[in-house]
Structure 1
């Protein structure tokens, strides 16, 4: 079996439904922005977006740890990519309707995907550490 075949098989074993679900769940942050939830009140900028980002991160890590995802780093890395793709698609879909929905240039799109994949991988490392702690303590 070649290295390419091994990688493909490895990617097939990832929990893709969970990956897409976590990426879609993270869309709550831009959707609330579009809805104007950050314009006033308790979720006013910068508190609201930061609070929601932390909440999303906790849910991603918690889901990977609680579900005992076998490979949390690539799982959450791809959840970050899924979020980036879905956020870009949301922006593209809303562009005709919202004047502030701008499509970033290609380098910006790549940057969004790269940043979110790095964030996902970092959260995956945290989830892996949490899994080790829970496994050691019998949790």
Structure 2
């Protein structure tokens, strides 16, 4: 029984949805950069996407690890999934406008689940790193 002195359980409430959505939106810099470079007919190869991935991962780890965000693993897995959904939507909006036809994962629905799984894995790896940062700082991230 919950009394006035005992707060209710906060399992889902401990997740910071503004942080999750904010970090996912920031990660859209990666596909937006790819679109801009494609429109400029520039091909930097894998350097720019890999650099963006490293910068975004470092940002996720810093915000969650140093910022003492509760539950770093589920938080960053959800960031990865939210980024995947936002990237799908961005692709669905921009590819018809820029290419004249639907392209990307939405044009090949079998690619959607693997794409989301890869982004969830990205979030999991970042979450493990953020958890290590928190533990190294003596913070319990659960």
Calculate the TM-score normalised by the size of structure 1: 0.82
Question: RMSD over aligned Cα, in angstroms?
Answer: 2.2
For 2:92 and 2:50, locate their aligned partners in 1 and report how far apart those are by CA, in whole Å. Answer: 24
Q: 2:72 maps to which residue?
A: 72
- Which of these residues, 122, 126, 132, is aligned with residue 129 of structure 1? 132
* Uncovered stretches (5+) of structure 2, i.e. residues with no partner: 2-8
- How many residues align structurally? 127
Is the 1:65–1:127 Cα contact (8 Å) retained in structure 2?
yes
Q: Which has the higher helix share?
A: 1
For 1:80 and 1:38, locate their aligned partners in 2 and report how far apart those are by CA, in whole Å. Answer: 29
Is the 1:38–1:48 Cα contact (8 Å) retained in structure 2?
no
Q: 1:5 maps to which residue?
A: none
Q: 1:94 maps to which residue?
A: 94
- Which of these residues, 102, 115, 118, is aligned with residue 115 of structure 1? 118
Calculate the TM-score normalised by the size of structure 2: 0.81
Q: Which protein shows a greater Rg?
A: 2
For 1:35 and 1:66, locate their aligned partners in 2 and report how far apart those are by CA, in whole Å. Answer: 32
For 2:89 and 2:77, locate their aligned partners in 1 and report how far apart those are by CA, in whole Å. Answer: 19
Is the 1:38–1:49 Cα contact (8 Å) retained in structure 2?
no
Structure 1's consecutive aligned runs of 4 or more residues displaced over 3 angstroms after TM superposition are none
Q: 1:39 maps to which residue?
A: 42
SS of 2:19's partner is helix
Q: 1:106 maps to which residue?
A: 109
For 2:31 and 2:97, locate their aligned partners in 1 and report how far apart those are by CA, in whole Å. Answer: 15
SS of 1:135's partner is coil
Q: 1:4 maps to which residue?
A: none
